Structure 1
């Protein structure tokens, strides 16, 4: 990656821990202005303070922001605040994610919790940020996906998985939806599997993972305007590969966009 990103503005969701935190750290070290999103204002501020204290990052490059993705109203408020204060946003990294819980759980908005946090919140956020997301060369959205999207299936008649729930199937559905979403944006967008890393999601994959910083390197690489990317493409770490077939099916892309718009009350 180039030594400096020369000051683009980047919003990283889920930036208080794991790959999101390391992504924010690497981007700020390269000169990006990083809007660091956390679930709460306290978590976002603590992560910002840690970056300043332990990495010596200039606090002027960091802006903590908060929204709990289990509440779509907070996602809307976050998007409106960003558009107001940062009318030009160069890169959006849709990274925030949770493991689906053991027991079926619905948010107050009526959505299965991992489907909302991992996909629907990012769908809503990205669409609301569209006025700020630059269409200039280098502007882009990077969705942090997973190899588990390949085992996913979107249950069109029961997307909330009320009738039949499995935490792994629910999580895989959310990752497939996020990957499909990259193919249906009016701005340049890609998905990336950063590899299995030692983060809070590790129990879904196994017992061993690479350091979160290693996964973040693959995300940060795709944020670099010097790196040419293919719109809608899927990257497995640093290599462009074909995603699950459903991720590029025109019918699936359109159907998901319609479903997500209905569930969040916003049609793209």
Structure 2
């Protein structure tokens, strides 16, 4: 794939999605919403879970105003709760039995929670929401993915994965909690490791399913504007204020790497995409920088095994 070709990719280049069923987490706002809107516009049937049915239905109402006749299914999913993930996966299996999904986009997440919080399962909120929940959801929905060429699992990471480090003695930030360049960057590095390791396992099994991923760069969404607790750390707010006019892009442009990974015929199995501009902050989708740690095969195997233990699932492809 040439970089020049990739830079030309816009939402208008998303191919027809007629006959395809898509599930996007976090599609009630931000880049998830923009991705859902464009896929629905191209004819996809979209499953949109949110943490409440009212949020899911609100997103559906907004999409229908843009795409009358869109086929949309709401659901309830809180990725911070393993029980909620299991309940939602069971709902999908009952409503759409068998191999019924063509595309799974793990998009939902939280960022830079100011103070360390534990989920109902006792895990640090960012690690649970951004990584453990999506891993479990993918494992549970894997039997429902259609075993054919074109089926994809997309995992949304972040450019700050390059600053991340997997600390097995501090996975839940029990030793030290740093909101952004600690817990958040670790969770997003874990997402990238998962995306790449999943592709290795799919390839080894001879599966036609592809694992791809991307990051939105510096996209202005509710993650930046309000934060999960209504306030972002002071240092991050200062940097954001300086960078925002120069290096940010809106959610629609931030969704392009996800759409490229999800639908472009140029996206390759294991491909990871981000914006083309300075420091991958804004621009059109091109192959993104992959953190060296994400290429560590031993680290990937250890993280996979530990994640299976934490989530209580055996994820065999």
Asked if the contact 2:23–2:103 (Cα under 8 Å) also holds between the matched residues in 1, the reply is yes
TM-score (norm 2): 0.80
Task: State yes or no: 1:241 paired with 2:288.
Answer: yes
- Change in 2 beyond 3 A, CA 1:112/1:138: same
- Structure 1 length-normalised TM: 0.94
Alpha-carbon offset, residue 242 of structure 1: 4.0
Deviates most, 203-212 or 123-132? 203-212
Q: Deviation at 1:241?
A: 3.5
Kindly report which structure 2 residues correspond to 1:163-178, keeping only aligned pairs within 5 A, or say none: 163-168=175-180, 169-178=182-191
Counterparts of 1:1-268 in structure 2, within 5 Å, are 1-53=13-65, 55-59=66-70, 61-86=71-96, 87=98, 88-168=100-180, 169-185=182-198, 186=202, 187-202=209-224, 206-207=240-241, 208=244, 209-224=248-263, 227-237=265-275, 238-268=285-315
Query: What is the rounded CA distance, in whole Å, between the counterparts of 1:211 and 1:118 in structure 2?
Result: 21
Distance 1:241 1:135 in 2: 27
Aligned to 2:16, the other structure's residue is in SS state coil
The farther-off stretch of 90-99 and 188-197 is: 188-197
For these two proteins, the number of residue pairs brought into alignment is 265
SS in 2 for 1:142: strand
SS in 2 for 1:201: helix
Q: Shift of the alpha carbon at 1:154?
A: 1.0
Question: SS where residue 23 of structure 1 aligns?
Answer: helix
Unaligned runs of 5+ in 2: 1-12, 203-208, 225-231, 276-284
Question: Whose radius of gyration is greater, 1 or 2?
Answer: 2
Q: Conserved in 1, the CA contact under 8 Å of 2:220 and 2:249?
A: yes
Residues in 1 aligned to 2:155 and 2:133: alpha-carbon distance in whole angstroms: 12
Q: Give RMSD over aligned pairs.
A: 1.6
**8 Å CA contact retained: 2:89, 2:141:** yes
